[in-house]
Structure 1
């Protein structure tokens, strides 16, 4: 692969995985996309380490790696984009997981496998050890659905205002058509 060729990696959200409609649609639109699947049922530092292992393997051979994330995957994409100075586009990202995911505490199910698990206080609090920062070398692109019923777009707008390219849409939390954002993904 040419060092100038753009390479993509997708990080899914909570209760999702590589079988998600979003992941499949992004693969269809962009061709080869690395899937940074991780176990979100564990503490944040372990989940981050899992994603980071995959990222380091891909990034060393693909210096133009671009991260794409949705929801909790958007949080991880933003965190890692800052750390590795990577470009990223995220959709309805979680900004403060310990707070914004608190309503989901307790019994949860993977949307695709129906695997049951518990989101505990311990898992939620582990995210406080991974604060996001707006001090990034490359300005992220953030797509926010104003009708998001899961993650408040207001919190994200307030935190990232003047530090990200924010595109407001009428979408809900689940993006229905990534084709509309193809040019943004490839930018």
Structure 2
């Protein structure tokens, strides 16, 4: 049976609005046991080890990744042959996050951590050269103030795309797409 592995963004957590929206929709369908959303480590290699442990235990899942989680979802999708919904994804994560080297605070838990140049190098090592566009559904809002949506549109040019005017990095219309995300996941 299929399910969803939700990958949150940098300094985020399973308590994010988008993660909770998907969790609630899954629960409403009686599928709460098929929704996975780990509190990802700030250390990229460790975050991917967490995700891969879930995939090893649960079998193939549809990935839903937001921001840095979208970058991670791409890496996992290509590595494991999975489908992925990417929400305002980081395309060049090592460049996007290079300015964040130093002390950081998780926006939901208040946990403080150090984001290092080694973490940036780990992200760079995870860059995926070639994509199988049929695996992806890109959801972006042009008003994203953190990441340039045009990078994602170009990177996933042959994938299914939903590009919306306005909005912001949080993807303001996310709840409108949750039923379609579950459909994309075969749920």
Which TM-score applies when normalising by structure 1?
A: 0.86
Q: Secondary structure at the match of 1:67?
A: strand
Which consecutive residues of structure 2, in runs of 5 or more, have no partner in the other structure?
A: none
Q: How far, CA to CA, are the matches of 1:49 and 1:67 in structure 2?
A: 15
Secondary structure of 1:30's aligned partner: helix
Q: Residues 116-169 of structure 1: CA distance to partner in whole angstroms, max 9, x if unpaired? A: 12222121111111112443274300101111111111221222212x212112
- Asked if 2 retains the 8 angstrom alpha-carbon contact of 1:141 and 1:166, the reply is yes
Distance 1:71 1:161 in 2: 17
Q: Name the CA shift for 1:19/1:183 in 2 (closer, same or farther; >3 Å).
A: closer
Shift of 1:182: 2.5
Match of 2:122 in 1: 126
CA distance in 1, matches of 2:88, 2:71: 9
Q: 2:167, 2:173 within 8 Å by CA — same for their partners in 1?
A: no
1:19 aligns with 2:21: no
Look up the match of 1:37. 39
**Structure 1 stretch 29-38 or stretch 145-154: which is displaced more?**
29-38
Instruction: Tell me how far apart the structure 2 counterparts of residues 30 and 175 of structure 1 sit (CA, whole Å).
Output: 20
TM-score by length of 2: 0.86
Match of 2:162 in 1: 167
Question: What does 1:105-184 align with in structure 2 at a 5 Å threshold?
Answer: 105-136=101-132, 138-162=134-158, 164-169=159-164, 170-184=166-180
Q: Deviations over 1:34-70 (max 9, x none)?
A: 1133211x2x2222112111121111xxx4x211110
| Partner-residue secondary structure (3-state), 1:37 | coil
Report the alpha carbon displacement of residue 25 of structure 1 after superposing the two structures with TM. Answer: 1.1
CA distance in 2, matches of 1:104, 1:39: 15
- 2-side partners of 1:83 and 1:137: how far apart? 14
| Residues 11 and 69 in structure 1, CA contact (< 8 A), matched pair in contact too | yes
Any gaps of 5 or more consecutive residues in structure 1?
Answer: none
**Residue of structure 2 equivalent to 1:68:** 64
Q: Does structure 1 conserve the Cα–Cα contact (< 8 Å) formed by 2:8 and 2:66?
A: yes
2:46 maps to which residue?
Answer: 46
